[in-house]
Structures are given as structure tokens and as C-alpha cells.
Amino acid sequence: MSDMDYYSLKMRASQQVGDGEQKREQHISGAERIVNRDSVEAVCAAMVRRAMTHSKGDPDFINVKIEKVHESDIRILKALPVTRVDVETWQEGLEMAFGLVGNAVVECDGSREDLIKSFAQKLPELLRETFPMRGAMLYDIATGERLEPDHERGVRATYMDALHSSEVDGCKNHFNEAIVLATKVANAPGMVAEFCVSDDPNYVTGYVASKELGYVRIMKMKEMGDENGGRIFLFDSRKASAEECIEYLQKKKVLVDVAPCQKK
């Protein structure tokens, strides 16, 4: 055993909703960490606390998974640079986000005007489709197809944390977690851009991100109290295969160096 042992911790919590035939598990909360051995116990306790105090409700089911991770399997990435956009209204913020993502797609695909147009009109509809999902939509800008193996669940980016963060934190820091996820996602094979709105009813800041855009925080993207949110990963199947992209998102261990990344 050495102090270079890392452990991955994953938590997800859900609640049963509905009756009889309609009964189903609704996702309440999830978290991801990669920490050193000494922090495992405390971080685990903090995750459970977080699940049990979430604003989406009281969980009926909490799953915590702890796995050893070898240091040699970890890739270290530099955090995306952060910019901040202030807007008057959430409608303005959402439009801006759609616009930024639309442009990122156009830059990839200058030759296919028809697809670009239909894509711009599709974005609000795609976002609505993500609302009940626990993961993200993986949308192929080359074909207009969804590439998640399971459309109801979506694709989850996992096995990631901030570098040197053995910090034990029971309450969620949306920004810190999002910059880590967005940095991992932006470095995925074939990834064009990401679009994100939180599903937490009292967190209205969202973002769009890509290697070219960096991480663009948009301070209002939905109405306060709205519990609908989601993520769309915009992917280009001409640049990589869906399989390698999903494999990277779900399996590759990533630590993100957030030192150069100042919250703005």
C-alpha cells in the first residue's frame, strides 16, 4: 500500500414516486470523487449527508460505490478557462446559450446549412427531452441522431475529480463540480460542445463549454423554482466513434487541475 493509492467514490440517490403501475425511481442526487485513501471514509459520510439533505426530496434508495484506482490509469487535464456572462432574464440567458452552441456546431460544419438550421430549431426540443434523464444526451451533429445506448438514462460522465482535492464537503458546490465535468467532457474524442442547465430548483446558473469556447457561465438560464434541467453533449461522428467517446466518458479516470481556473 502506498500513499499514491486513489479511490473512486460514487453516490446516487433516488426516491419512489407514483403508485401501482406508475411507480418509478426518481433521481434525486449524485456525486463523484477520486480521493486518496485517507479521505475515503469522511468523503463517503459527506456524500450520504448530501443525499439525505437534498432539496429534491428525501431518498428511498442511496447507492455508494467505492473502488480502488491506480495512479497510472489517471489522466490529468488542465481546467477549461472560465468566462462569465451576466444577463437580465433567464430567457435571454437561454437564447445566448443556444446561440453559442449553435455557432460551435456551425464552425464544425460550415458545409451543411440544412443540418445547421434544423439543429438550431431543435435545441429547445432536445433540452426538453433531457429533463427526465439522469445522464446526458449524446447528440450526433453529423446525422442528427441520439447515440446513447439507453435514451431514458443517457450517458454519464464518471471517474473524475479536481486534482489535490481531498476536501470533505457535504454540500454541493455546483461550479466546482461542473468545471471538472465540463473539462473531462470537452476532452472526449469527437466532442464539439456541451450545454448544461442544473436540475436543482434553486440553482439557475448554467453553462456551455468546449475546448474552443472554454467554460462560459451564464448566470441565469431558467426560472427560480424550476426543477427541470439537463445536459446535451454535442458530438461529431466524423471525428471519432460513439463507442470510443462513451468509453472515455464512462471509464477513463481524470483529475482536473483547477489551479489556473479562477471562478469569475
> In the sheet that 253-257 helps form, which strands lie side by side, from edge to edge?
74-78, 253-257, 160-162
What character string, x for contact with ligand WAQ (CB under 6 A) and - otherwise, covers 201-220? --x-xxx---------x---
Tell me which residues in 142-171 interact with ligand WAQ (CB under 6 A).
156-157
| # of chain residues touching Mg ion (CB under 5 A) | 2
192 makes contact, choosing from ligand WAQ, Mg ion, none, with CB < 5 to 8 Å by partner type, with: none
156 makes contact, choosing from ligand WAQ, Mg ion, none, with CB < 5 to 8 Å by partner type, with: ligand WAQ
Q: Copy the grid coordinates of residue 148.
A: 446513447
Tell me which residues in 145-204 interact with Mg ion (CB under 5 A).
199-200
Q: Indicate which single residue of 231, 254, 258, 261 sits in contact with ligand WAQ (rule: CB under 6 A).
A: 231
Tell me which residues in 59-118 interact with ligand WAQ (CB under 6 A).
none
Q: Phi/psi at 203 (nearest 5 deg)?
A: -125, 105
Report the distance separating Cα 156 and Cα 126, nearest Å. 17
Q: Which is nearer to Mg ion, 95 or 177 (CB)?
A: 177
Q: Copy the grid coordinates of residue 244.
A: 470510443
Q: Copy the grid coordinates of residue 174.
A: 455546483
Q: Which is nearer to ligand WAQ, 84 or 211 (CB)?
A: 84
Q: Which is nearer to Mg ion, 4 or 17 (CB)?
A: 17
Give yes or no for a contact between 221 and 97, defined as CB atoms under 8 angstroms apart: yes
Minimum CB separation of residue 58 from ligand WAQ in Å reads 18
207 makes contact, choosing from Mg ion, ligand WAQ, none, with CB < 5 to 8 Å by partner type, with: ligand WAQ
Minimum CB separation of residue 232 from ligand WAQ in Å reads 9
Residue 61 bridge partners (DSSP): 14
Report the distance separating Cα 99 and Cα 120, nearest Å. 8
Tell me which residues in 123-142 interact with ligand WAQ (CB under 6 A).
130, 133-136
Report the distance separating Cα 24 and Cα 7, nearest Å. 31
Cell 434541467, residue located: 229
Report the distance separating Cα 229 and Cα 221, nearest Å. 10
CB atoms near residue 190 (< 10 Å): 22
Residue 85 bridge partners (DSSP): 218
| # of chain residues touching ligand WAQ (CB under 6 A) | 24
Q: Which is nearer to ligand WAQ, 39 or 172 (CB)?
A: 172
Residues at the contact surface with ligand WAQ, assessed by CB under 6 A: 30, 130, 133-136, 156-157, 174-175, 178, 181, 196, 198-200, 203, 205-207, 217, 229-231
